[in-house]
Chains A and B, each alone.
Chain A
Amino acid sequence: MTTTNAPLPTYQAKDYKSELKPIWCPGCGDFGVVQAIYRALAAIGRPPHEIAFVSGIGCSSRIPGYTTAYGFNSVHGRALPIAQGIKVASPELLVLVAGGDGDGFSIGGGHVAHAVRRNTDITYIVMDNQIYGLTKGQLSPTSPKGLHTVTSEYGSLEEAVNPLLYVLAYGANFVAQGTPADMAGLAEVIEAAIRFPGFSFVNVQSPCVTFGEDDQQVKNHRATMQSLAKLGHDPTDRLAAMGLAQKYGKELHTGVFYKNPDPPPTMNALIKERQQVLSEKAPPRSRIFDRFLQT
């Protein structure tokens, strides 16, 4: 009898790519995002069946279907609660959440702060294109003030949401931004976000080729993007990160804004600890009604 030391299975980017053909418009930034996700997952090397990938509704929310992971293309704005339920129920899974800026900062905006403070170990990737693409070009929460769209004939009257600043202010321990104009950098921040223990957030400036503004297109990103690392930003400095995040909408910073060097325990870790302590003295399930006996 011989024993072989079988090498651990290793995965390549293509192993995470499904056979479905994306419905995105040619040139859509989301093509770059999904490529970056394949690369990041290959670098991490978890088998596809151990990954749950949840999304909401919108162009970008089709993304789980283009991967070989377990996907859940749920309803508009609710990807985060569903993903947290998955992670709490099955902590061994790698859980990714993705969606657009409308999903994350408009209809589902109320969930972000709570996902941050709950701190389950999930990664939230927002494809931010400042427009509602799937419904053909209406204002989104990150549309700049004054933008003319089919629902703002005379220009938007509202300030844009600043996703980076919001999430930093909510207390997130990992906040980054990327663009498909810098594929290597994008894959790198997504990988770092997944590896980070706890809730991590990656805002991707993912241009809409059909309804987006010219200055948001990939070509423009290449000309204007600035690497935070090259700017000498210290990603352990939350206040500096918030200062830089204020430039959202005016300057395109890529890389890690903030990464807590001393991350607090995740909710999963706290749950596990509690389960261990409390299960020691627990009566079996079949005796669950005994507590109601009048003794």
Chain B
Amino acid sequence: MGMAGSGGDGIVSAGESLISAAAYEGYHAMMTKSFGSQVRGGESSCRVRLSTARVQNPGGTLDVAIALNWEDFLKFGAELPVSGDTVVIYDSKTGVEPGQIPLVGVTPKEVFAVPIGEMARRAAGTDKAKNSVVLGLIAGWFGIAPGSIVRGLNKKFAKKGPELLAANERAFHLGEEFAKEHPLATPRAMAPPTSSGSKMLTDGNDMCAAAAILAGCEFFGGYPITPSTEIMQFFTREVWKYGGAVVQAEDEIASIGAALGASFAGKKAMTATSGPGMALKTEILGLATIAELPLVIVNVQRGGPSTGLPTKPEQSDLFQAAFSASGDVLRPILAPTSVADTVDVTVEAFNIAEHYQTPVILLSDQEIAQRKETVDPIDTSRFTFIERKRPTAVDLQSYARFRMTEDGISPISHPGMKGGNYQGAGIEHNEQGNPTASGKVHAAMNAKRFRKLAPLQRRRDLFRIDGDPDAPFALVSWGSIAGVCREAYLRATAEGLAVKLLVPWLVYPVAEEIYREFFGSVRAGLVVEASHQGQLYRILRMYVDVPRGVTSFARDGANPIQPGDVVARLRAAALALQSPPSAQQIACEE
């Protein structure tokens, strides 16, 4: 379901009421919002996808499109795609005849011009109740959770007084009645949810912050930047309760500096930002690497470069995360693929940071960070939390902070620990932490810093691999696009295509062995991601012999990739393999 209107129409608020009611009923649901970059006014839209089964992604073409005005609706283009199967509902005040709606090249299944604004004014005396009318229409036509929607309205307007509540309830019922008086030609009522019991409803940013606190994070340094700011906001509300603190710093550099200081002091610490902020934090990231201090840095990616598309998702900061550094640096990059697994990935980010004494970049993206998603209640006892390796009493008798160890991990002290005194530094140092310009020591320390991270590449649990291991076709995807590929994988498999799917949580370093094994049987496939360059595809090719038939399917951010697009390309790749190779191809292969 996709809806659009202008800022004051409350269309996003309608979406929120709808998904909240659906979550309460036990439906699986996902909601994405999209705005122009104005603070108020301008165009706004949301998509809500409801299902009785797990929702993997925001979905492709709309089953239901709701336009409060056409000008705003059309601004979202491919974000709100209408097909011949869509039911279109719009405010008749737009003056457009149902046969004349401005959608080029499609004839929707059914079109309803509804006097939404007029009904709102009739019920509530104000245009502001338009969203309640819309909710009524949805409940009436599609049978979605009328009781829970009204319950939600009750909660929402509880503080605003009984009059406002009654007015919105009237608006809701007017919408519901309208739908009943003008039934759909083809009824499309939602099936009731298969699982009863309400679900959690949250977004990736809140989930990330909550998971960080669960993992024991006691310090957050931040600076506001879209679309990551909600992480800091969550910390400012919650972390004090657990003995922690937040500093909203004067800039991005100070925010990572303060977080690194907290880590030096022995506490689990985090900072969060988006691409432009990452650029500013880069120097201190290098300091964290050479000083071997645990730190989690969240980058909620948005469209770039520079200010780019601050309110839209893209996966174009992977090169930046992997390679923007002075000197030889290897820092782990983890990417969540949904709101739900943001918990696992955030806990893992802290565990890796603490265990290996390294900065870890958690590469989220605007879609996961800001979309609302139903999540089954979490049993937190399934997590283990790793703490950095502290020096023993014996270690402290002749303590060397950067002691050469077989696994490259040296016990780490912190101020307050008697006998653990050392000099942390950005300058190259010997085992004791004292400055050196020796090439020999530098080479040994570089080797240590790389060696300690080598075991990460064997962490199979940081990969989700599905399908027949011998399948000749493959999909690889990461971040929010992985959910699109998971649906594509299921559809292609249902069509009888022998395809397998690899989704890494650990995006970098490239786990060469795992990819080599995965690509072993593969003759054709796609690496699917939301960027212009296809950054994961290119990084994979740096480290792994990617089969020639595996190509990049990359699309610039804010141009959503649909499961259908992926299946179509996969089908084409399969067909190409079946047709006899040309003489030229044979020559190449030989």
Contacts of A78 in B (CB 8 A): 253-254, 257, 283-284
Contacts of B214 in A (CB 8 A): 285-286, 288-289
CB < 8 Å neighbour of A93 from B260, B265, B381: B265
- B416 lies within 8 A of A49 (CB): yes
Contacts of A62 in B (CB 8 A): 435
| Contact of B163 with A by CB under 8 A | no
Contacts of A75 in B (CB 8 A): 283-284, 286-287, 426
CB < 8 Å neighbour of B261 from A81, A278, A289: A81
Contacts of A80 in B (CB 8 A): 254, 257
| Contact of A135 with B by CB under 8 A | no
Contacts of B253 in A (CB 8 A): 78, 81
- B200 lies within 8 A of A89 (CB): no
Contacts of A49 in B (CB 8 A): 415-421
Interface size class of B (residues with CB under 8 A): 35 or more
CB < 8 Å neighbour of B200 from A83, A86, A271, A289: A289
* A73-B425, A110-B251 known; A85-B416 Cβ under 8 A: no
Question: Which residues of B (407-440) have their CB < 8 Å from a CB of A?
Answer: 413-427, 434-435
A47, closest chain B residue (CB): B418
Stretch of A35-43, A50-58, A171-179 lying at the B interface: A50-58
A291 CA / B284 CA spacing, docked (Å): 34
- A85 lies within 8 A of B426 (CB): no
| Contact of A275 with B by CB under 8 A | yes
| Contact of A235 with B by CB under 8 A | no
| Contact of B380 with A by CB under 8 A | yes
CB < 8 Å neighbour of B264 from A86, A118, A287, A289: A86
Task: Please give the distance in Å from B139's CB to the nearest CB on chain A.
Answer: 17
Contacts of B414 in A (CB 8 A): 70, 90
* A49-B419, A292-B201 known; A89-B424 Cβ under 8 A: no
CB < 8 Å neighbour of A279 from B218, B240, B254, B421: B240
**What 0/1 readout, one digit per residue, does chain B (238-270) give for beta carbons within 8 Å of chain A?**
101111110101110111011111111111010
**Majority secondary structure of chain A interface residues (helix, strand, loop or mixed):** helix
Question: Which residues of B (62-82) have their CB < 8 Å from a CB of A?
Answer: none
- B241 lies within 8 A of A114 (CB): no
| Contact of A72 with B by CB under 8 A | yes
| Contact of A5 with B by CB under 8 A | no
CB < 8 Å neighbour of A71 from B250, B416, B423: B423
- B206 lies within 8 A of A73 (CB): no
A19, closest chain B residue (CB): B434
Name B residues whose Cβ lies closer than 8 Å to a Cβ of A: 20, 23-24, 198-202, 206-207, 210, 213-214, 216, 218-219, 221, 238, 240-245, 247, 249-251, 253-255, 257-267, 269, 283-284, 286-287, 291, 343, 375, 377-378, 380-381, 413-427, 434-435
| 15 interchain pairs, CB-CB under 8 A | A49-B416, A54-B261, A65-B434, A70-B421, A72-B423, A80-B257, A81-B261, A85-B263, A93-B416, A278-B240, A282-B241, A286-B381, A292-B210, A293-B198, A295-B24
